[in-house]
Structure 1
Amino acid sequence: MRFSFVRKAGAALALIILFDRLFADSFGGAGVGVFAGAWLLAIIATRPDIGRARSVWPALALAALFAVSLFDEPGVLALSMFWCAIAFAALAPRVGSFDSAWHWGVRLFLHGATGFLRPFKDLRRIAKQRRGVGASPRLLATTLALPLLGGIVFLILFAAANPLIAHAFASIQLPSLWQLALWTFVACCVWPMLRPGTLALRVARRVPDLEPILPGTSLPSVLIALALFNLIFALQNALDIAFLWGGGALPDGMTRTDYVHRGAYPLIVTALIAGAMALAMLRPGSASERDPWARRMVALWVGQNLVLVASSALRTVQYIQESMLTSWRIAALLWMALVALGLVLICWRILRGRSACWLINSNALAAGAMLTACCFVDIEAIAARWNVQAADPAKIDLCYLHRGGDSALLPLLALERRPMDAETLDRVRYVRADLLRDLETRQADGRYWTWHGARRLAAARAIVGSGAPRPLPANYSRDWCDGSITPPQVQS
């Protein structure tokens, strides 16, 4: 047991040293993936129970996959997914078989919220054990006083007599308060994975299953509510079908832009609330769950919610066509797809009598698969490529492409080869040249080098032309955002 603790302490110290060497100045680059891989190996090497539990192997495989994603292109999403996978692997041997995504969500939340206290608890426990065998602080101080004070005196005298020793002492640099704080933070992150606490496991064991409940409802109230809700949703869907899908003429004073822009996100919130209410109305064991009319009307209501989600997606797509595509709008469309899948699963659960645990696990699996795929997809590059291909070069928002970073570099190179006026071409070349220069600078610095960046830089150099933004006349300046040239201000 003692050897296991020492082995984990050594692994934590090695990870702290590796973190200090990789991120002496800043946190970024492929080193994030290297540290994640080392963290994963440290857990496997110091926790024999992880290797023996077959239920942990999928989490270890996912953690390794996310470590590769972090090496390729570090990001907040990949880092969060890696932490979830490695925390699952750390806790799973003490949980046993997988129960539900709901309980695991509680465990991961509590583990993250309280795990940073684990190193201090272990230090306190060690101190108590030492006091139990007679090593009180007073006895320890009196025991070490003579060797420490005597050693310091002799070292000072030798340093005064020997310049080599004096030079060695002068070259010693004590860590700054910032370094000590950073090392403590890393220790608080890695130690709970090597020695997880039991608080998260005990609390999650007492958390009841997630089952929506509407208190005070009866079968007549459920039937009346479902009939009313279906009528209200039918009215909304009929208006969308007439004006949004069918392109009908809107009333005077209302433009199609007004109709499209309003409602995309409120309708999604409406669908989520409706889904939760449908689950609560047909809760297993209730009178409404056994009533055939209630089941039919709930199925009809869920179907109407699917039409509502489709209308929200169409509103977003039309908004994109009128303006531009952004990474947040892609995320919104993906979220709408998850909501639609969740509604289908709700309907399946009601018709087939599935449990709430099955529903939560199915939704969690779908969300996890989508988030995992997003870790390996550059959404900013997808948005930039669509904007470049779909819009007139003179109307493209170069500021948005510039702020997107080197994700827009290859789409800008494609845009540069399209016909356009000289002023727009000059601005495109300016933004492209700035992004290329920034990417080259970061790839030349080992601290910021990434595998994805290296591939993007090689592709850009293979197709970049000889064109460059024209030199500025005297006293003229460029707007950093879109490269437009600004004449000098005339003094009044």
Structure 2
Amino acid sequence: MALKNELKTGVLLLALLNGLLFVFILSDAYYLFIGDLPEGIPYSEYLHQGVYTLIFTILLAIAILLYLFRENLNFYSKNQSLKKLAYVWLGLNMVLVLLTLTKNSIYITGTGLTYKRIGVYTYLILTGIGLIFSYIKVSKVKTNWYLFRMNGWAVYVLLVVFSTVNWDRVLTRFNLTYAKSPDLAYLFTLSNSNLSLLKEDIALSRHAFTDNQKKSLAEWELEYLRGEAQKEWQSWNYNDWRLSNELR
């Protein structure tokens, strides 16, 4: 009787949560694709609220599944309704991930790419992977430890892969090429890696850099080349070698 009552409670809980999340997704999609944002709410705040909501719902989703699909409920022969509702719950959360991904992409296309926005993409990728592993855990009757272990490996692999990318050059190239209204001042806060890209953009007059920014870039370049000339061979690395050749 205790198992049956737990099953009924789980079914009711997931049904109510699915209905609530479905209504939220409809309203979110309406503001994103059809209607205008409420007055007084800028797009940046709209995006941040979506990310915060996503963080809360994903943590809630995984916590509920870890609680419900533990021990005996995993093997109860009449748990099919609970599993179906769990699949719907995971699917709705994946839709929420895609909506947030769309909002972040629209924002980036307009104002440019930053490290915080890359962080949003990273979180969305890890969230999608976590939802996939949650589906496998429920459908294949895996343990809770399986979910923690696989998500841990996903975080580790993604961080290793991302550490091989020169993000300062990626940010600069994207913002100068694709962003409609890039924050040029932000690009001057990055490392030396983007010096040649800024110099090239100024030479081609693609964007309206101020005279102070042009002067600052020339001083920055001169200081960098002087520092490189004083380095010994032990300090050699590919990125600095490539940048020095590009500047010269």
* TM range, smaller chain: 0.7 to 0.9
Instruction: Give the counterpart of 2:190 among 389, 399, 404.
Output: 404
TM superposition outliers: structure 1 runs of 4+ over 4 Å: 287-290
Seen in structure 2, the aligned counterparts of structure 1 residues 251 and 416 have a Cα distance that, compared at 3 Å, is: closer
How many residues get paired?
A: 240
- Give distance in 2, aligned partners of 1:324 and 1:428: 18
Deviation, structure 1 residue 303:
0.6
* Aligned 1:54-65 pairs, distance under 5 A: none
Q: Is the 8 A contact 1:250 1:256 kept in 2?
A: no
Aligned partner of residue 285 in structure 1, secondary structure: helix
Q: Which amino acid in 2 is paired with 1:439?
A: Y
Q: Which residue of 1 aligns with 2:157?
A: 369
Q: Deviations over 1:126-161 (max 9, x none)?
A: xxxxxxxxxxxxxxxxxxxxxxxxxxxxxxxxxxxx
Deviation, structure 1 residue 251:
6.9
- Give distance in 2, aligned partners of 1:420 and 1:219: 63
TM-score, length of structure 2 as denominator length: 0.84
Which gives a bigger RCO, structure 1 or 2 (Cα 8 Å, sep 6+)? 2
- Give distance in 2, aligned partners of 1:268 and 1:249: 24
Q: Which residue of 1 aligns with 2:73?
A: 286
Seen in structure 2, the aligned counterparts of structure 1 residues 302 and 396 have a Cα distance that, compared at 3 Å, is: closer
- Give distance in 1, aligned partners of 2:152 and 2:166: 23
Which region of structure 1 is more displaced relative to structure 2, 449-458 or 282-291?
282-291
Seen in structure 2, the aligned counterparts of structure 1 residues 438 and 350 have a Cα distance that, compared at 3 Å, is: farther
Seen in structure 2, the aligned counterparts of structure 1 residues 360 and 250 have a Cα distance that, compared at 3 Å, is: same
Q: Deviations over 1:294-344 (max 9, x none)?
A: 011001101111111111222222222232210221122012101111111
Deviation, structure 1 residue 407:
2.5
Deviation, structure 1 residue 232:
0.5
TM-score, length of structure 1 as denominator length: 0.45
Q: Is the 8 A contact 1:283 1:289 kept in 2?
A: no
1:429 is aligned to 2:214: yes
Deviation, structure 1 residue 388:
0.9
Q: Is the 8 A contact 1:349 1:359 kept in 2?
A: yes
Instruction: Give the counterpart of 2:91 among 265, 287, 303.
Output: 303
Aligned partner of residue 235 in structure 2, secondary structure: coil
1:440 is aligned to 2:228: no
Q: Which amino acid in 2 is paired with 1:417?
A: A
Q: Is the 8 A contact 2:137 2:143 kept in 1?
A: yes
Q: Is the 8 A contact 2:109 2:179 kept in 1?
A: no
Q: Which amino acid in 1 is paired with 2:203?
A: R
Q: Which residue of 1 aligns with 2:34?
A: 248
Aligned partner of residue 349 in structure 1, secondary structure: helix
Q: Which amino acid in 1 is paired with 2:193?
A: S
- Give distance in 1, aligned partners of 2:59 and 2:18: 15
- Give distance in 2, aligned partners of 1:443 and 1:285: 65
Q: Which residue of 2 aligns with 1:325?
A: 113
Seen in structure 2, the aligned counterparts of structure 1 residues 268 and 218 have a Cα distance that, compared at 3 Å, is: same
Deviation, structure 1 residue 289:
6.0
- Give distance in 2, aligned partners of 1:225 and 1:297: 10
Q: Which amino acid in 1 is paired with 2:227?
A: R
Seen in structure 2, the aligned counterparts of structure 1 residues 287 and 356 have a Cα distance that, compared at 3 Å, is: closer
Report the RMSD for the aligned CA atoms in angstroms.
2.7
Q: Which residue of 2 aligns with 1:20?
A: none
Contiguous gaps of at least 5 residues in structure 1: 1-216, 462-492
Seen in structure 2, the aligned counterparts of structure 1 residues 403 and 282 have a Cα distance that, compared at 3 Å, is: same
Q: Which amino acid in 2 is paired with 1:304?
A: L
Q: Deviations over 1:336-377 (max 9, x none)?
A: 101111111101111011223332232222222211112211
Q: Which residue of 2 aligns with 1:414?
A: 200
Seen in structure 2, the aligned counterparts of structure 1 residues 440 and 387 have a Cα distance that, compared at 3 Å, is: same
Q: Is the 8 A contact 2:15 2:85 kept in 1?
A: yes
Q: Is the 8 A contact 2:111 2:183 kept in 1?
A: no
Q: Is the 8 A contact 1:281 1:289 kept in 2?
A: no
Q: Is the 8 A contact 1:264 1:315 kept in 2?
A: no
* Aligned 1:184-223 pairs, distance under 5 A: 218-223=6-11
- Give distance in 1, aligned partners of 2:240 and 2:89: 48
1:233 is aligned to 2:21: yes
Contiguous gaps of at least 5 residues in structure 2: none
Instruction: Give the counterpart of 1:360 among 139, 148, 162.
Output: 148
- Give distance in 2, aligned partners of 1:332 and 1:253: 25
Higher helix share: 2
Seen in structure 2, the aligned counterparts of structure 1 residues 325 and 312 have a Cα distance that, compared at 3 Å, is: same
Q: Which residue of 1 aligns with 2:53?
A: 266
Q: Deviations over 1:3-22 (max 9, x none)?
A: xxxxxxxxxxxxxxxxxxxx
Seen in structure 2, the aligned counterparts of structure 1 residues 428 and 254 have a Cα distance that, compared at 3 Å, is: closer
Seen in structure 2, the aligned counterparts of structure 1 residues 223 and 402 have a Cα distance that, compared at 3 Å, is: same
Q: Which amino acid in 1 is paired with 2:24?
A: Q
